[in-house]
Amino acid sequence: MTDIAEFEAETAPETVKRGRVVQGLAWAVLLAAVLIAPAFLYPVFAMQLLCFALFAAAFNLLIGFTGLLSFGHAAFFGGAAYIAGHVIKVWGFPPILGILAGTVFAAALGWLVGMLAIRRQGIYFAMITLALAQIVYFFALQMPFTGGEDGLQGIPRGHLLGVIDLSQPLNMYYFVAAVFLIGFAVIYRVVHSPFGQVLQAIRENEPRALSLGYNVDRFKLLAFVLSAGLAGLAGSTKALVFQFASLTDAHWQMSGEVILMTLLGGMGTIFGPVVGAVIVVALQHMLSGIGSWVQVVIGGTFIACVLLFRRGIVGEIARMLKVGGWL
């Protein structure tokens, strides 16, 4: 094989070493940022960032690591918010159980949607998820317990384990930070598990994964359920933060926003969705004065991102540092 002579093999151990160091640094920055954020940011805003960062990271599990574009993730995020809110407010469940109920609901819904959607591929898959999410939106609008246009308001934050008062902003913040970190760690583990290896194989070359004897549909379905459940974890937590669940959370625009966050930060990267979510939410926040023009700015940012750095912010950084796959 002639081309071997001029072919220079990069010594792998060096790449691995550099990758480990850079990833360690990224974890340190993330942890530090999460811990000290309330010192610089308004707690509710900081919590909003964390919820969306988790949502985007959950979404990335599908698009980035399995290669499935769901256009209906708002259904899991918003649906879980309603369930958590209802369980806490009406049934009087403690906050943790409420969040758990929302998460389980989203995972179950993910199983249902996944079962139907993974029979098709590409754009058809995306369209089925969108259509099913619209049905969920319709339920959110029409069912008596959701409060229709008004949303589900006045969800009490309650006490964590009966002791810690979550109506105190800092208590609540560190609770949300813990939820985020646990959720994020779960995603990291799923990606770096034997299961995650197969998911990446499916993303890379589905027919080949099939020919190696992997039941591709079952792997996709489990990935979908995990992603939906984690999106639900983010949605339930957000409902507790803002103390209400609204139609916005389940609207298709929310499904679009999470795609935007993930692409902007870098799909298929570990930390990209977090960066993307922070940028999008911060832009919405800072530019709220200009009304609907904020959409134009975000749209422009998105176009610039796709044209100039297609790998997303973190993806481009990883490429520059030659640590692809580690960030």
Partner 1 sequence: MSDTILEARNLTKSFGGFVAVNGVDLSIARGAIHAIIGPNGAGKTTMFNLLTKFITPTSGEILFNGNDITRRKPAEIANMGIVRSFQISAVFPHLTALENVRLSLQKSLGVSYQFWRSTKVLHDLDAQAIARLDQVGLADYAHLKAVELPYGRKRALEIATTLGLEPELMLLDEPTQGMGTEDVGAVTELIGRVREGRTIVMVEHNLGVVAELADTITVLARGEVLAEGTYDQVSKNPAVMEAYMGVSAEEQEAGA
Contact positions vs partner 1 (CB under 8 A): 1-4, 7, 9-10, 12-13, 15-16, 189-190, 192-198, 200-201, 204-205, 207-216, 218-219, 222, 226, 324-325
- Residues 286, 42: contact at Cβ < 8 Å? no
How far is 184 from 230, CA to CA, in rounded Å?
Answer: 9
How far is 267 from 59, CA to CA, in rounded Å?
Answer: 9
How far is 37 from 21, CA to CA, in rounded Å?
Answer: 24
The DSSP bridge pattern shows strands 164-165 and 159-160 to be antiparallel
- Residues 285, 262: contact at Cβ < 8 Å? no
Q: If residue 202 lies in a helix (H) or strand (E), which one and from where to where? A: helix 194-204
How far is 125 from 141, CA to CA, in rounded Å?
Answer: 25
Cβ of 131: how many Cβ atoms within 10 Å?
14
Looking at the DSSP bridge assignments, the partners of residue 152 are 245
DSSP 119-187: TS-HHHHHHHHHHHHHHHHHHHHHSGGGTGGG-B------EETTTEETTSHHHHHHHHHHHHHHHHHHH
